[in-house]
Structures are given as C-alpha cells and as structure tokens.
Amino acid sequence: MAHFDTTLLKTNIVSSEVKQIAQILKSNSLSIYNDNDDAKLRDLLLVLNCIDLTTLAGDDTYSNVSRLCYRAIHPLSNKIVEKLSNHDDYHHRNNITTGAVCVYPLRVGDCRQYLDRIDSNLSIASVVAGFPSGQSPITVTLADITFAIQSGANEIDIVINRSLVLAGKWQELFNEIKIIAQHCHDQNVHLKVILSCGELGNLQNIYKASMCAMMAGADFIKTSTGKESINATLTYGLIMIRAITDFYIARKIRVGLKPAGGIKNASDALCWINLVRFYLGPEWLNNKLFRIGASSLLNNIEFEIFKLLFHRKPIENELSMT
C-alpha cells in the first residue's frame, strides 16, 4: 500500500559535487570500450532493446504510426541481423526489438490495430496528463488514461504538475500520483512518471519529486518530456538514481529509470547505460527497469552497430527503413 513518508524527502545534496561527478562520468564512460568491441556491441544492443520509440507530433497519422511500429519490431537491417546470427555471443538477439512504442492516446488504437494484425506483443506506451504541461485536472487525466488503455495501451507516461513541486506541496503531489497509479495498476498497466527535471528549480526538488512519485506507486521515474529547455542530463540522472537507491533501501521495491529528451547518439546513450551500471547495478540493465525515450536515436545506434560488425560505414540500403 502506497503511503506518504516525509522522512524519505530529507536529503543533503551538494549541487557542485553532483555536477562534477556527472562530468567525470561523461568524460570517462566511453573509455571502457577501448579495444573492446564486444562490450560496446553488447551495450548498443541493450540500448536498442530499451528504447521507447516515440512520435508525439501534431500531424501523426495511422501511416506514420504504423511505420513506427514496424521499425520498432524490425530495428536492424537484414544484413545486420544475418551478421548477428553468425556472431557466437549474439545469435540469440536476432529477433531484438525496441522496448515499446510511445504515442498520444488518439494514436494508440492505430498502434494496436497494426500490431494485432502482425501478431506482435510489443508494448504500447501513451503520454497523458496534459502532456507536456501537466496542467490538466486529474479527472481529465484519468479519463485520458482510461481511453488509452481501452485503445490498447499497456504503459502510461504521465507528467507531473510542476507547480506543486515549486510550491512545496509534496503531499498533494503524492495524492495525485497515487490516484493515477492505482487507476493504472487496477488495469495491470505500468506507470511512468515524468518529472520534467529542467523545470523543478533545483536538484533537491528533483530528489523529492522522485521520492513522491515512487512512494505513490510509480513503476518508472522519467527525466523529461523532451519539450523542456533542458532535458535528460547525467546530473539529473544521478539525483534520480540516488532517490531510486534510497527508496529501494527503504521499501525493497525496484523502480525503473527513463531518461528522455536530447539523447540523439550512441555516445549519449552509452553514458546512461554506464551510469545505471555503476550506480544501480546489473539488475537494472534490462527494459523492465530501464528505458530511453527517443525518436531519432535508433538510427544512430543501428549505424554504430553496423560499423562494429563490418568494420566500415554502411552504404545506401544497408540499413533498415528510416
């Protein structure tokens, strides 16, 4: 049973130290792959499997949403898949997919129609709660969630009302998320809570908002909507991971992490993989507890995988549909 505990909001964060650690991590993260192509390939495949492949455009249609689903199910070209099938350590990964697709509620039905037609069990996530502003009444949010679930969503991404954080109304924030979490869990749907870290004022607020979301029943906490001026940063990730760790110690519940917004290339994504590996451990290195929200990242990941496997850059038609 979710309950609010003010003692879990107490923290001592030295912003300058956290930012310094993030900078060091970013500088050193990629050095672990020096002369170790197998480790890099392993982690790039892991990144791919943890992507929530996303389209949140105002002009989304059945056509582009179905292409998104196809790409999520077939993220690598036939040439890469064939090469992987002959790779001793990765032959079992030739059916790899992304973690999910993520769309607005009105497009969930399009995803479900396409995926059912090809008999795929790929997860469908949907963003609600007045995304990206978080300024919708909870009654509207609950209605949106119901509509998305009835349309076929099995994951819900909500965005918090940042005004509650900035006003220090932690109990009220907890209460709102708890109602939403219960609504989702009653229908066996996972809940990701978007904190919009770049708009919370300071790192202490990010920690407290993370704790409120987890205490209220969030299955994941997510950095950003992708619409903020500052989105997913390793500094934010370190604070959220500290909260996840503290919550696990207090409640023995593992909560997932989802960075989103501004993660466009393999180097950025691998930094996040190593952040999770170093500070949370291997238990979190799977798409049950780690996701990356992205729209363009997959193209770069596929490009880098090709280079590792063939030791050259791809030419036209050697990569999958974009």
**Cα torsion at 109, 110, 113, 117 (round to 10°)?**
-160
Cα dist. 217→51, 175, 247 in Å? 22, 10, 11
Of residues 215, 235, 216, 214, the one with CA closest to residue 224: 235
Our CA angle for 237, 293, 143, nearest 5°, is: 105
Residue 222 known to be catalytic? yes
Kindly state the greatest CA–CA separation across the chain: 57
Length of the chain, in residues: 322
Cα dist. 100→120, 184, 306, 312 in Å? 11, 17, 22, 30
Residue 258 known to be catalytic? yes
Chain-centre distance for alpha carbon 185: 19
Collapsing DSSP states into helix, strand and coil, what is residue 220?
strand
How far apart are the C-alpha atoms of 99 and 75, rounded to whole Å? 11
> Which residues, including other chains, have CB under 8 Å from residue 19's CB and lie 6 or more apart?
235
The catalytically annotated residue of 10, 79, 222, 288 is 222
The catalytically annotated residue of 40, 178, 192, 258 is 258
How far apart are the C-alpha atoms of 61 and 173, rounded to whole Å? 34
Query: Residues with catalytic annotation?
Result: 222, 258
